[in-house]
């Protein structure tokens, strides 16, 4: 089943297993540490008033894996990030799983 077909099936109420789709490079597990290869816009930041991180290629720990019809693999994550003001702190949000790679 292609990306389009599985997304269409999910929109029509059919059950689609998000962890078995052919375009997913690997299966991620909760608690796994991953490197974020490409910065996507963070959906939620738990540090009020802080700007979004300016530096890519950060390490995060997967909190949960969630299905999203706009993109079938969004991974909720948490991790420490460097901020433009020189400070660092926690940030969490959603990344496409295709933009994550496992740490060896």
- In this structure, what CATH number is given to the domain that contains residue 22? 2.30.30
Burial class, 100, CB count within 10 angstroms (exposed 0-12 / middle 13-18 / buried 19+): buried
State the pTM of this model: 0.36
* Residues found in the chain: 104
Q: Are the C-beta atoms of 58 and 35 separated by less than 8 Å?
A: yes
- The answer to whether residue 9 is domain-embedded is no
Q: Are the C-beta atoms of 47 and 70 separated by less than 8 Å?
A: no
- The answer to whether residue 39 is domain-embedded is yes
In the chain, how many domains are there?
1
For residue 61, the enclosing domain spans 18-102
- The answer to whether residue 10 is domain-embedded is no
- The answer to whether residue 75 is domain-embedded is yes
What mean pLDDT is predicted for residues 35-42?
50
- The answer to whether residue 12 is domain-embedded is no
Question: How far, in whole angstroms, is CA 51 from its chain's centroid?
Answer: 19
What mean pLDDT is predicted for residues 88-94?
53
Asked whether residue 28 carries a pLDDT value surpassing 60, the answer given is: yes
- The answer to whether residue 7 is domain-embedded is no
């Amino acid at each position: 089943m292609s990306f389009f077909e599985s997304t269409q099936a999910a929109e029509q109420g059919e059950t689609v297993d998000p962890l078995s789709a052919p375009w997913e490079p690997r299966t991620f597990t909760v608690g796994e540490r991953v490197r974020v290869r490409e910065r996507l816009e963070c959906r939620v930041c738990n540090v009020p008033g802080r700007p979004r991180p300016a530096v890519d290629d950060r390490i995060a720990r997967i909190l949960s894996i969630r299905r999203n019809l706009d993109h079938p693999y969004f991974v909720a994550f948490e991790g420490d990030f460097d901020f433009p003001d020189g400070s660092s702190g926690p940030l969490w949000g959603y990344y496409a799983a295709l933009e994550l790679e496992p740490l060896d």
